[in-house]
Amino acid sequence: MSLKGKNALVTGGSRGIGRAVCIRLAVMGAHVYINYVSNPEAAEETRQTILAAGGTADVLAFNVADPAQAEGAIKKLIHDAGSLDILVNNAGITRDGLMARMKEEDWDTVLDTNLKGSFICAKAASRAMMKKRWGRIVNISSVIGFAGNAGQVNYASAKAGMQGLTKSMAKEFASRNITVNAVAPGYIVTDMTSTLPEEIQEKIKAEIPLACLGKPEDVAGAVAYLVGDDSTYITGQTIHVNGGMYM
C-alpha cells in the first residue's frame, strides 16, 4: 500500500501510538506532519527517525483543544503543502479520579482535548478534503470508551463520544469520497501504561485472551490499513486492537 504523494497529519504524534503511526505512514510514502503541544524534543526525535528511514516529515506545534491554534495551523499546512489528505486524531490526555471527587476542570480538560480536539481538527482538515474529493480520517478511540472504567468517567466519555463523531462524519463526508473510521486500542505499551504498578499490569494481562499488552505498532498497522487502498469501501467503522479484551 503506497501513500506516495499524500500529506498526513497525526495529532499527538511525538510519542507512543502517535509516533508509531507517524513512522508507519512515512514508510508508506506519505509526507507526515508530526503534531505536538509540549515536547519539541520528542517530536524532533520522531522526525529524525523518519528521515533516517528514508521518509519525509515536519513537526507542527499546536494545541488541538485551542480552536484558533488548531484551525490556524491546519489552514497554513494546507496552504503551504497544497493538500491535507490524511488526518489521524490521536492526541489524548488523562486526568483520572473517581467521579465523586473529580474536579469539573479535569472533566473539561479531557473532553476538550480528546473529543472536541478531534472535532476541531477534522472540521479544519475536511475543507481541503472535500475540495479534492478524497480524504481519510482516523480517530483513535479506546477500549475504555466501550467497556468503561472506574476512575475514568471523563476519558471514557470522551472516547465513547468519538464513536458518534466517527459515524456522523462518515455519513456526512461519504459523498465526497472521504472515509472516516476509528481504531480502539486496548492496553498498549506506552508512557501512559508504563507508570502502572507491576501487579496492576499482571492483572490486566490476565483479563486479555492473548495474555499480553499490545505494541504501538499494532495500532499503527490498523491505521495504515484504514488509510490505504484496501479499505476504500470501509467507513464509519471501528477496528478493535485489544488482544481480545473486548469483543
Closest CA to 219 of 9, 19, 26, 21: 21
The answer for residues whose C-beta is within 8 angstroms of residue 164's C-beta and 6 or more apart is none
Torsion, Cα 202 208 209 213, to 10 degrees, reads -80
> What cell was used for 229?
487502498
**Which H helix or E strand runs over 184?**
strand 178-185
Q: Hunting for cell 495529532 — which residue is that?
A: 11
Q: Is 155 a catalytic residue?
A: yes
For the four alpha carbons of 62, 63, 64 and 69, in that order, the dihedral sign comes to negative
> What cell was used for 230?
484496501
Question: For the purposes of burial, counting CB atoms within 10 Å of the CB of 228, is it exposed (0-12), middle (13-18) or buried (19 or more)?
Answer: middle
* Angle between helix 16-27 and helix 216-227 axes, rounded to 10 deg: 50
The DSSP secondary structure of 33-86, one letter per residue, reads EEEESS-HHHHHHHHHHHHHTT-EEEEEE--TT-HHHHHHHHHHHHHHHS---E
Beta bridge partners of 140: 183
Set 36, 155, 187, 225: catalytic member:
155
Catalytic sites, residue numbers: 155
